[in-house]
Structure 1
Amino acid sequence: MSEKNMLSHVNEHGEANMVDVTDKSVTQRVAYAQGRVNMSAQTLALINSKQHAKGDVFAVARIAGIQGAKKCSDLIPLCHPLMLTKVQIDFATLKDGSGIEITAMCKLAGQTGVEMEALTAVSVAALTLFDMCKAVDPSMVIEGIKVTEKLGGKTGHWQRREEQTHD
């Protein structure tokens, strides 16, 4: 197996290994991730009108997503603990009215990327939306969680193209 194709979180003995980033340059790094929660029109209307019995669903899910990004290294075993300088969570109603799109942006100046933090932020925000709304809509579906863009580090700028899928 060529060095380029080796998994970076496995050592030469096949054991789990935290990557050594000591010699990597400190650069500004940003990652964006996205996901959706599909739900009934009635549930979406409750959330958007702030009439949900549990209160402002977006406010709670936003805080949960930010907290999730900050706790990423506690959840994902080989992730480095990072000093995030910015986490932003945004919500948008899907154009067809079938649910909510969640976007997370994570940023720092560091030696490793923030893709996992952005993915965790979206995941935790989606789980929080689900938790707050499950009593009125247990058939909701969380889907499509993915990194959409990253900047910084040796790979520079990467952006997902619509046709990029992994079936």
Structure 2
Amino acid sequence: MNFNHFDDDGQAIMVDVSNKKKTMRTAIASSVVLMKRETLRAIMEGDMRKGDVLGVARLAGISACKKTPDLIPLSHPLAIHHAAIDFECDLETGVVKVRATVRAFERTGMEMEAMVAASLAALTIYDMCKGVEKGIEINNVTLEYKEGGKSGIYKKSA
């Protein structure tokens, strides 16, 4: 397998994308937050001491995707045109599914930005709820979908 983040001498490099054409690129990533039903109920009813948990997590995820090149050393700074964080809450199972969508007209993909956004939104949920429940779990950060560029469309199989 040939990794393109290394030069011929095995040194880590930022991939040169300067000759690539800009195309519209989209990435969707998700994460799963597991908690007690009572904790999720309090979030959904707005009864958490720290305030609007999902609202703050949404802003954290959007902010995080814009900071990806500061966090991941070889990632490119990108002019992000759209970032959204959505939540699916299942009160029966105590699950919050975080879904991050990131879009830009760029030379390289948005996968890392979407995964960072989904991760930070989930971590923010944990941070805002840890006073109530320490055993919250964050699982399954994954790329669900991407499109744009030479590699075309990727869709995670079910």
Distance 1:89 1:125 in 2: 8
Question: 22, 25, 33: which one pairs with 1:26?
Answer: 22
The code of the aligned residue for 1:85 comes to H
Name the SS of the counterpart of 1:106 in structure 2.
strand
TM-score, length-scaled by structure 1: 0.92
Say if 2:95 is the partner of 1:102.
no
Q: State the Cα distance separating 1:118 from its structure 2 match.
A: 0.1
* 1:134 paired residue number: 130
Give per-residue Cα distances to partners, 1:36-85, cap 9 Å, x unaligned. 11000110001000111111001100000001000000000000000000
Shift in alpha-carbon separation, 1:158–1:36, aligned structure 2, 3 A: same
Say if 2:20 is the partner of 1:12.
no
Say if 2:147 is the partner of 1:154.
no
Give per-residue Cα distances to partners, 1:113-143, cap 9 Å, x unaligned. 0000000000000010000001101000000
CA contact (8 A) 2:26 2:101 kept: yes
Q: State the Cα distance separating 1:99 from its structure 2 match.
A: 1.6
Question: 72, 79, 84: which one pairs with 1:83?
Answer: 79
Percent identity reads 41
Shift in alpha-carbon separation, 1:82–1:103, aligned structure 2, 3 A: same
Shift in alpha-carbon separation, 1:8–1:94, aligned structure 2, 3 A: farther
Distance 1:127 1:16 in 2: 29
The code of the aligned residue for 1:44 comes to L
Question: 117, 120, 141: which one pairs with 1:121?
Answer: 117
Q: State the Cα distance separating 1:94 from its structure 2 match.
A: 3.0
Distance 1:15 1:134 in 2: 41
* 1:40 paired residue number: 36
Equivalent pairs counted in the alignment come to 158
Q: State the Cα distance separating 1:98 from its structure 2 match.
A: 2.1
Question: 117, 139, 142: which one pairs with 1:143?
Answer: 139
- Give ranges in structure 1 of 5+ residues lacking alignment: 163-167
Q: State the Cα distance separating 1:97 from its structure 2 match.
A: 2.5
Which consecutive segments of 4 or more residues in structure 1 shift more than 4 A? none
Name the SS of the counterpart of 1:64 in structure 2.
helix
Distance 1:77 1:95 in 2: 38
* 1:165 paired residue number: none
Name the SS of the counterpart of 2:145 in structure 1.
strand
Q: State the Cα distance separating 1:95 from its structure 2 match.
A: 6.8
Say if 2:65 is the partner of 1:69.
yes
TM-score, length-scaled by structure 2: 0.98
CA contact (8 A) 2:29 2:144 kept: yes
Q: State the Cα distance separating 1:158 from its structure 2 match.
A: 0.9
